[in-house]
Copies of this chain bind each other. A is one copy, B any other.
Amino acid sequence: MPQGQPTSVPEDGLTTRQRRNRPLLLVHTGIGKGKSTAAFGLALRAWNQGWPIGVFQFVKSAKWKVGEENALKVLGASGEGGTVAWHKMGEGWSWVQRGPSGENDNTANEEKAREGWAQVKRDLAAETYRLYVLDEFAYPLHWGWIDTEDVVETLRNRPGTQHVVITGRNAPQALLDAADLVTDMSKVKHPMDAGQKGQRGIEW
CB within 8 Å of B: which residues of A? 4, 6, 8-10, 16, 19-22, 24, 26, 28, 30, 32-34, 36-42, 44-49, 51, 66-68, 70-72, 74-75, 78, 80-81, 130-131, 163, 176, 179-191, 194-204
> How far apart are A76's CB and chain B's nearest CB, in angstroms?
11
Q: Which residues of B contact A37 (CB under 8 A)?
A: 37-38, 41-42
Establish whether residues A201 and B9, one from each chain, have CB atoms under 8 Å apart when the complex forms: no
> How far apart are A118's CB and chain B's nearest CB, in angstroms?
26
> How far apart are A36's CB and chain B's nearest CB, in angstroms?
7
- Nearest to A165 among chain B residues (CB) is B202
Q: How many copies does the complex hold?
A: 2
Q: Which residues of B contact A180 (CB under 8 A)?
A: 189, 191, 194, 196
Tell me the interface secondary structure of chain A in the complex.
mixed
Establish whether residues B51 and A201, one from each chain, have CB atoms under 8 Å apart when the complex forms: yes
> How far apart are A77's CB and chain B's nearest CB, in angstroms?
9
Establish whether residues B188 and A185, one from each chain, have CB atoms under 8 Å apart when the complex forms: no
> How far apart are A75's CB and chain B's nearest CB, in angstroms?
6
Establish whether residues B67 and A74, one from each chain, have CB atoms under 8 Å apart when the complex forms: no
Given A6-B197, A180-B189, A180-B196 in contact, is the A202-B32 Cβ separation under 8 Å?
no
Q: Which residues of B contact A66 (CB under 8 A)?
A: 48
- Looking at the complex, which one of B4, B30, B51, B191 makes contact with A24 (CB distance below 8 Å)? B191
Establish whether residues A183 and B187, one from each chain, have CB atoms under 8 Å apart when the complex forms: yes
Given A20-B197, A67-B44 in contact, is the A184-B186 Cβ separation under 8 Å?
yes
Closest CB pairs A-B (n = 6): A45-B67, A37-B41, A34-B38, A48-B67, A182-B188, A41-B41
